[in-house]
Amino acid sequence: MEKKFTPLKILCLLTKSNAIYLLSFFLILSCSSLGLSGQEKGHSIPIHNYYEYTSLTPIKINRSDYSKFRRKIYKVYRKKINYIYRSKDHTIVLADKETILAFKTLRLSYEEVGKYPPFRYYVPDYQTRLKNGFRELSDLKTGYKDYKLNIKYLKALAKEYPNLVTYYDLGKTRLGRPIPAIRITSPVENRNKISVLFNGAHHSNELIGVEHCYDVIYHLLSDPEKYSEVLDRMNIWVIPIVNPDGSYLFWYKSLAMGRKNGYLAPGFTEDNYARGIDLNRNYPFKWNSGHPKASSGNPAHSFYRGPSPGSEPETRALMALAEKERFLFSISFHSFATKLLFPYTIEDTTNPNPDYVQDLAKRLVKFTKSYHPVKRFEAVKNIYAVDGTDQDYFYYKFGTNALLAESSHRNIDYGNIGIIMDGFRPLWENLLNEYLQNVKMILRVEDIEGYPLEASIRVEGFEYFEGEKFTTHPVTGYFFKMLMEEKEYFVHISSPGYKERVVKVLPGVGFEPKIVQLRKISDTTSDKNDETN
């Protein structure tokens, strides 16, 4: 008779020393699986684009033939075919090998769409959602969005929630499409609201980035009471699709397109897969840094940086918005490295000291739950060499605590999107709570009559190595800075035509600004407030 060994019997046969090691191993394994070792790991969701692993092929048939072909296929083979997409002249059907063979056998006229069909041919409910538009908030979580759905939804949200949502056109793309955005905030009058930016689809073939933006929108609007303090103290800007032309190319032209925008370099045709400029290599900070792999001057390259810094209307639209809003925080959503990138991401670029934003990123990733088969989220400088990115530009120009989130998945089956959003949501929620709960410096600089001034700000104890220079907001006179320590700081404040002041500031977790008045140099009246205080 065969002997059976239970785990308990095996343990009894081990030496005491080996038994302790084995017990320790299983204890560590158990803690890890329960998420006790830090960031939690969810169950595995495949990472691949679902259209790359399907056995279904989009085929095109004349629209007038569809009903006749459908009846014939069912009569002979008892197989049902349903259309995915209809144009004026054609109907698109997703067909398996048996259905294609049936078409051939019955000598039914059809055309295979090709190796890289447009994404809309894989989305059965796309035209229905486009027709229905926005009816209720839950519509935002029913499927992937292209540039058309994005405009419909954002405009409708502004009408549905007029006290919270304002719609903006930030400009026009290369091909003349609007670049839509919304601002979400409460009607509470608060002069020192900060601005926060969430953006997606610099690369419009990365659909999950759009969904991360809509997750922010959905939750802020579905439960405004929960986020009441956020909405009272912040202007939340959301740009789900920075690159509408890329969205058009990916959804309407080819799966091989969409990373870049609609730019046509000399000699390129409209259907050239390589057309366009990588918008996230087009920002001015260290554009064309000289690193051979960071970006390319070749218009056919995936990382083509464009003919000049900030050459693209989409890039300039975000630069102008950042100039106006002076975002304190931002997240740019991409896919799919399962990383949170902190600036500076460019090689041979030195971060300030102390490095608050790196510390922030490393704290935030601990709140995430990853459903990637093998990876957990981690905070890193970069994944590979880059330059001309939005986050580095915002960080350098305005001191924005700018992060880039590489989501854990690609363009997966939409049925799995909800759980991935659930795993990432605590990160952006804690980013917003960072301002509400942690140490910050809030200044308002004005003249002696109380009018706001644009003034240069230099905080002692901070070292900068890339020529960074920061100012108060030119319209409001406000300056915001997150800090790692609650202690006294000496702040140098200067504005052309005014006497420089050095003031002592004790930051905290509150929201009352320190008011600093500057006198004109021509004003000879003595003022004790000109002294350090």
pTM for this entry: 0.90
The residue whose two tokens read 């008011």 is: 515
DSSP state of 173: -
Which stretch of DSSP H or E encloses residue 503?
Answer: strand 501-505
In DSSP terms, 492 is beta-bridged to 458, 502
Pair (337, 315) in one structural domain: yes
**314 in a structural domain:** yes
Q: Is the domain of 242 the same as that of 269?
A: yes
pLDDT digits (tens, 9 = 90+) for 420-468: 999 999 999 999 999 999 999 999 999 999 999 999 999 999 999 999 9
* Helix, coil or strand: residue 91: strand
Structure-token pair, residue 519: 């006198």
Domain termination residue (choose one: 114, 136, 162):
114
pLDDT at 163 over 80: yes
CATH number of residue 64's parent domain: 3.30.70
Q: What is the pLDDT of residues 92-127, one digit of tens each?
A: 999 999 999 999 999 999 999 988 999 999 999 999
Q: 275 and 165 share a domain?
A: yes
Question: What percent of the chain has pLDDT above 90?
Answer: 83
Contacts of 262 (CB under 8 A, 6+ apart): 173, 174, 175, 245, 246, 248, 249, 275, 276
CB 373 within 8 A of CB 46: yes
Residue 300's nearest CA partner among 275, 270, 267 is 275
Least confident window among 26-40, 158-172, 259-273, 414-428: 26-40
- The verdict on residue 336 lying in a domain is yes
- Residue 279 tokens read as 């918008």
> Residue 28 — pLDDT band, cuts 50, 70, 90?
very low
Distance CA(363)–CA(383), nearest Å, equals 19
106 and 145 share a domain?
no
Residue 42 within a domain: no
- DSSP letters spanning 189-240: --TT-EEEEEEE-SSTT-HHHHHHHHHHHHHHHH-TTTTHHHHHHEEEEEES
The residue behind tokens 């500057």 is 518
Same domain, yes or no: 405 and 375: yes
pLDDT at 54: 78
Residue 483 phi/psi, 5° resolution? -130, 155
The CATH number that applies at residue 489 is 2.60.40.1120
Q: Residue 19 in 3-state DSSP?
A: helix
Using CA atoms, how far apart are residues 219 and 216, in angstroms rounded to an integer? 6
Mean pLDDT of the chain: 91
CB 367 within 8 A of CB 430: yes
Query: Per-residue pLDDT for 218 more than 50?
Result: yes
| 356 backbone φψ class: left, alpha, beta (φ>0; ψ -120 to 50) | alpha
Specify the DSSP class assigned to residue 137: G
What percentage of the chain exceeds 70 in pLDDT? Answer: 90
Query: How far is it, in rounded angstroms, from Cα 249 to Cα 252?
Result: 5
* Residue at which a domain ends, from 433, 450, 465: 433
Rounding to the nearest 10 degrees, give the CA dihedral for residues 466, 201, 185, 447: 30
What is the average per-residue pLDDT within 175-184? 98
Under 8 Å between Cβ of 517 and 448:
yes
**Choice among 27-41, 384-398, 454-468 with the minimum mean pLDDT:** 27-41
Does residue 27 have a pLDDT over 70?
no
Amino acid 32: pLDDT: 38
Tens-place pLDDT, residues 259-282: 999 999 999 999 999 999 999 999
Whether 213 has a pLDDT exceeding 90, the answer reads yes
Q: Would you say 344 and 359 are in contact if contact means Cβ atoms under 8 Å apart?
A: no
Query: What residues form DSSP beta bridges with 235?
Result: 195
Number of domains the chain is built from: 4
Task: Look at residue 19 in the predicted model and tell me its pLDDT.
Answer: 44
Provide the domain limits for residue 508: 440-530
Task: Specify the range with the lowest mean pLDDT, choosing from 30-44, 213-227, 247-261.
Answer: 30-44
In a domain, 120, yes or no: no
The arithmetic mean of pLDDT across residues 485-505, rounded, is 97
Question: Per-residue pLDDT averaged across 64-89, rounded?
Answer: 93
Cβ neighbours for 428, distance < 8 A, ≥ 6 positions apart: 198, 212, 216, 331
In a domain, 204, yes or no: yes
Count of CB atoms within 10 A of residue 287's CB? 20
Tens of pLDDT, residues 52-70: 877 889 999 999 999 999 9
Helix (H, G, I), strand (E, B) or coil at 397: helix
